[in-house]
Amino acid sequence: MAGSRVAVVTGANQGIGFATVKELCRTFDGSVYLTSRNENLGRAAVEELEKLGLRPKYHQLDIDDESSVLRLRDYLKATYGGLDILVNNAAMLILAKDEDSRELFAENTRSVVQTNFFNTFRVCNILFPLLRPHARVVNLSSSMGHISQIEGQSEAASTLRAKFSSPDLSYKELLKLMNDFLDAVKRGDHADYGWPRKNWVSYIASKIAVSAMTRIQQRDFDVDPREDIIINHVHPGYVNTKMASFKGVLTIEQGAAAPSWLAMLPPNDATNPKGAYVWHDKTIVDWVKGPLPAEY
Ligand SMILES: NC(=O)c1ccc[n+]([C@@H]2O[C@H](COP(=O)([O-])OP(=O)(O)OC[C@H]3O[C@@H](n4cnc5c(N)ncnc54)[C@H](OP(=O)(O)O)[C@@H]3O)[C@@H](O)[C@H]2O)c1
């Protein structure tokens, strides 16, 4: 199998990740890995797709567990010798409640930012060396990950927006911005630094960081000796999943449409989006200037 093509979707036992595996099984000429942190849930999801006549493969992956990511990397290397598609879909949401103590708010914020940003960043750092020429990577951001979610005209908000959206932002600076955010949340003064007060702030911060990270990653791929590697960040829409408390307006298949399209961008096509923030209807939205086409 070494040399045959392979795709990996993280957090794929349910929701948008599951539907992305389903779509890739139909369209991608290679092995498609449904991964999940819980093996039983993942295997049950594979069986569900098998009933539709699809043939996804399975590998365990908990992005919060470095050894799990390393096991997947070693397996892919030994079995396929590389990686052609990576969809960084796994994420979590904990909405803060007004009555949360500062300690609980800080703890929950750390968990959300750790999984959605720091651990997704680690997955990239561990798996990117496997990417082959023409590989496609898709990072699931959100409408909440648009820079305009840092709202208002205060000097602090303008400074924060300018830092995240700088075309020269480095990984080191991005990591510092996120660690500073976590420290400010712990102190209870994150709003003084331009962050929104709202109950969504942990998720907003984590997804802004994922989007900012994607822009740096494409800059790196542009000068990578491996040809034509592309990464984009996507808002999948307001999708009817557990994360959206099953209130979303799009089906999981509709939510998987833009991520799957980005995963399958054709080789060497000058019209391909690169490092772009892509809306669920496949239009490209300016991540720095906006405006957002809709609330979701
Ligand atoms: N739904 C929306 O309206 C919406 C809007 C904008 C962006 N998004 C983004 O779209 C992506 C998919 O969300 P969804 O709505 O499909 O959510 P979901 O149905 O809750 O699915 C999230 C998936 O991520 C997995 N996951 C969480 N932590 C993980 C970890 N540490 N390691 C591996 N897997 C982990 C979950 O596993 P378990 O089943 O074990 O919990 C689950 O399979 C997320 O990045 C989300 O932020 C969703």
The CATH number of 6-285, from 3.30.565.10, 3.90.1150.10, 3.40.50.150, 3.40.50.720, is 3.40.50.720
> How many whole angstroms separate alpha carbon 102 and alpha carbon 77?
44
CB 172 less than 6 A from any atom of ligand 1: no
- 175 SS3 class: helix
Taking CA atoms only, the protein residue closest to ligand 1 atom 42 is 11
CA of 11 to the centre of ligand 1 (A): 6
In the DSSP assignment, the letter for residue 144 is G
Residue 215 phi/psi, 5° resolution? -65, -40
Whether residue 151 contacts residue 293, with contact meaning beta carbons closer than 8 Å, is answered with no
> Stretch 107-113: mean pLDDT, rounded?
98
Q: Helical H runs in 97-154?
A: 102-113, 120-127
Give the model's pLDDT for residue 1: 72
Give the model's pLDDT for residue 6: 98
Helices and strands per DSSP (H, E), number in the chain: 9, 8
CA of 192 to the centre of ligand 1 (A): 30
| Mutational pocket test of ligand 1: of 23, 37, 246, the residue with most ligand atoms within 8 Å of the beta carbon | 37
Active site residues: 203
CA atoms in the 13 A half-sphere facing the CB of 33: 28
Atom of ligand 1 nearest to the CA of 248: 3
Give the model's pLDDT for residue 296: 78
> Stretch 47-51: mean pLDDT, rounded?
98
Residue 45 has pLDDT above 80, yes or no: yes
- In tens, the pLDDT along 53-108 reads 999 999 999 999 999 999 999 999 999 999 999 999 999 999 999 999 999 999 99
Taking CA atoms only, the protein residue closest to ligand 1 atom 20 is 243
CA of 183 to the centre of ligand 1 (A): 25
- 167 SS3 class: coil
- In 3D, which of 293, 241, 282, 239 has the Cα closest to residue 259? 282
Give the model's pLDDT for residue 248: 97
- In tens, the pLDDT along 11-22 reads 999 999 999 999
Give the model's pLDDT for residue 144: 96
Q: Following DSSP, what letter does each residue of 254-295 receive, concatenated? A: HHHHHHHHHHTPPTT-TTS--S-EE-TTS-EE-TTT---SS-
CA of 18 to the centre of ligand 1 (A): 10
Average pLDDT, the chain: 97
Please say whether the dihedral angle defined by the alpha carbons of residues 5, 10, 14 and 17, taken in this order, is positive or negative: negative
- In 3D, which of 9, 255, 275 has the Cα closest to residue 143? 255
- In tens, the pLDDT along 120-138 reads 999 999 999 999 999 999 9
Taking CA atoms only, the protein residue closest to ligand 1 atom 29 is 90
> How many whole angstroms separate alpha carbon 46 and alpha carbon 21?
9
Residue 188: pLDDT band (50, 70, 90) is very high
CB 114 less than 6 A from any atom of ligand 1: no
CB 16 less than 6 A from any atom of ligand 1: yes
∠ CA 167-168-172, rounded to 5°: 125
- In tens, the pLDDT along 193-225 reads 999 977 999 999 999 999 999 999 999 999 999
CB 258 less than 6 A from any atom of ligand 1: no
> How many whole angstroms separate alpha carbon 230 and alpha carbon 137?
6
CA of 250 to the centre of ligand 1 (A): 15
Give percent above pLDDT 70 in the chain.
100
- In tens, the pLDDT along 251-293 reads 999 999 999 999 999 999 999 999 999 999 999 999 999 989 8
